[in-house]
Amino acid sequence: MTYDRALVGAPTPYIWNLDLSSRQHPSEPAIITMSDTTSWSKFTLKVRRIEAALATAQASPNDLILVAGPPNDTSFAAIIAARNYGIGILPLTHNQLARSSELVMTSVTLELRGDDVIRTLVAPCAAEPSSRYPPGSGYIAYLSSGTTGVPKIVRQKRRERNMRGVAVMGKYGVGRDRGPHLMANPTFHLGTLGPALYALECGNAVVIPEQWDASSFAKLANDYALSSAFVSSDQLIEILKVEPDMPPSFLSLQHGGSYLARRLKEVAIDQFGDGLLEFYGTSVGVISEISGHDWLKHPGSVGRPYPGVRVRTTAGCAKGGLIIEHRPVGNAPREIEYPGDIGYVDEGGYVYIEGRQATSADALRIQNVLSEEIGIISAVQMSSNATLHFAMEVEPELLENSINAVQSRLQEEQVPVKVDLYNGRVFPRTESGKVSIVETNSSWSNRLVLEPIVRLKSPAAYS
């Protein structure tokens, strides 16, 4: 099937839902994996059958059910069915489940197993069906990535009423006149599942590769005439390296999850244009977004908070630890979150993130400066005493340039600093594609895994 990229058809925003996709385009693809394709009619039928299975099991309003397996038509159908039915669902890959099995099994009350969810529904609860929440009031729970600690289960807020559908916003590259969305990193995190589920509900097929692979990114974009995709910052860097001449074919290439050096952001905007859209969020929810065009006016910003979301700092208007006041749901009080990020909000309301709160002012400054150097993939502050210690991954072909650039920077430092440089992407990463800071610290700080290619020091570190 071919898709027309032209921005024609119904104007945006407009309301769309799964039933409209099934009725108007029953034979077109809804979910595309590398081994199978599921049409809208078959996908909708699976959603309805899972809803019926939940009713037969008399699932309780307070149930959190689990569906374990790879992202595919079954897992997406189970997510939509649980939300339609009015209960919570926790989707996990097998790797996520293995990493957090003790945490998950103490939280989950109902499990959906295997490819045939309907046939293997187990452990029914005894609640009366009439005691469940209204249809459409279910929610999704996510396992946080665990970048800076142990993963935790984060539950979305319930909707108070059934929704007729979703608002189709053209800036996200979705709509019936647009191509599919690529779930580039096939894992169940807020940043990977959220955009894919939204695109699906807007009537766009979702393409799911078996695993992340930067070298096949351009081929997938061309083969499926993709209109949108979501990648982590690390993955965006890989794309810029592997596909430097890739044309700006995406209407919306979305990224987020971690800091992206300004020089790399400028390269990405130059390559993908205003369709490059950055999200800033926490484990609880998405806070803001910023387009490439807006970023060039406010370099380094992650955008203004969404309506209803408030961002301030522990230092008032000055730089400090961020405090997030999430949008209230119904009559519930605002949820206040301290995400551990350091930043500030400018006079125009734009939010800037500069690092993690656990770091000192010197550590924050040095890490940001060194991250801007050519060839640096990632920079992690390691546990240390008086001497600041950083571990950095470097692009192999730029190793010599990186060594010279970092050494030159360190010669200007008045504080004791040591930097270990490693060749290529060697640090452990979470399934969401981010460097696992806690795992890197536990292994690399004691040189338990690899010796650095070189260790550099500032003059003060020798005294």
- pLDDT on residue 143: 82
CATH code: domain of residue 372? 3.30.300.30
- What b/e readout covers 194-203, taking b as 16+ CB neighbours within 10 angstroms? bbbbbbbbbb
Contact 127, 58 (CB under 8 A): yes
Q: Residue 107: which domain range?
A: 18-155
Radius of gyration of the chain (CA): 23
- pLDDT on residue 27: 96
Among 155, 170, 196, the domain-final residue is 155
Residue 238 domain-assigned? no
- pLDDT on residue 269: 92
Please compute, for residue 157, the number of CA atoms within 13 A of its CA located in the half-sphere on the CB side: 16
Residue 283 domain-assigned? no
Residue 190 domain-assigned? no
- pLDDT on residue 139: 87
- SS3 of 298-310: CCCEEECECCCCE
Residue 252 domain-assigned? no
Our count of domains for the chain comes to 2
Dihedral of the CA atoms 403, 409, 413, 418 (nearest 10)? -20
Bridge partners of 65, per DSSP, are: 89, 110
Among 135, 155, 175, the domain-final residue is 155
Instruction: Report how far Cα 231 is from the mean position of its chain's Cα atoms.
Output: 7
CA pair distance 61, 133, nearest whole angstrom: 6
Q: Residues with Cβ < 8 Å from 459, sequence gap 6 or more?
A: 410, 411, 413
Whole-angstrom CA distances from 455 to 399, 413, 421, 422, 451 are: 13, 16, 6, 9, 9
Q: Residues with Cβ < 8 Å from 400, sequence gap 6 or more?
A: none
Kind and range of the H or E element at 368? helix 361-371
CA pair distance 311, 286, nearest whole angstrom: 12
Residue 29 domain-assigned? yes
Whole-angstrom CA distances from 224 to 174, 194, 228, 242, 246 are: 14, 20, 11, 19, 15
DSSP string across 218-243: HHHHHHTT--EEEEEHHHHHHHHHH-
Contact 72, 33 (CB under 8 A): yes
Question: Which one-letter DSSP state was computed for residue 383?
Answer: P
Per DSSP, the three-state class of 384 is coil
Among 120, 155, 190, the domain-final residue is 155
Contact 277, 172 (CB under 8 A): yes
Number of H helices, E strands in the chain: 13, 25
Contact 142, 188 (CB under 8 A): yes
Residue 456 domain-assigned? yes
Contact 261, 393 (CB under 8 A): no
Q: Are strands 301-303 and 320-325 parallel, antiparallel or unpaired?
A: unpaired
Residue 379 domain-assigned? yes
Residue 106 domain-assigned? yes
CA pair distance 261, 369, nearest whole angstrom: 9
- pLDDT on residue 8: 39
Contact 302, 324 (CB under 8 A): no
Handedness of CA 413, 418, 422, 425 (dihedral sign): negative
Bridge partners of 454, per DSSP, are: 421
CATH code: domain of residue 101? 3.40.50.980
For residue 156, give the nearest of 259, 230, 69, 79 by alpha carbon: 79
Q: Tokens 């590259």 sit at which residue?
A: 173
Rounded to 10 deg, the angle between the 190-201 and 73-85 helix axes is 80
Per-residue pLDDT of the chain (463 residues; tens, 9 = 90+): 333 333 334 456 889 999 999 999 999 999 999 999 999 999 999 998 888 888 877 777 777 888 888 899 999 999 999 888 888 899 988 888 887 777 777 777 767 665 555 445 544 444 444 455 666 678 898 887 766 556 778 888 776 666 778 899 989 999 988 999 999 989 898 888 999 999 999 999 999 998 888 888 888 998 999 999 999 888 888 888 888 878 777 889 999 867 777 888 898 999 888 889 999 988 788 999 999 999 999 998 999 999 999 999 887 767 788 889 988 876 777 888 888 788 889 999 999 987 766 567 777 778 777 777 767 877 888 866 678 888 888 888 888 888 888 888 888 888 888 888 888 888 887 776 677 777 777 766 555 567 888 888 888 887 6
For residue 264, give the nearest of 401, 375, 425 by alpha carbon: 375
Q: Residues with Cβ < 8 Å from 161, sequence gap 6 or more?
A: 134, 136, 137
Q: Which residue spans within 326-396 are E strands per DSSP?
A: 336-337, 341-345, 351-356, 376-381, 388-394
| Phi then psi dihedrals of residue 156, to 5 deg | -65, 160
CA pair distance 168, 159, nearest whole angstrom: 19
- What b/e readout covers 305-339, taking b as 16+ CB neighbours within 10 angstroms? beeebebbbeeeeebebbebbbeeeeeeeeeebeb
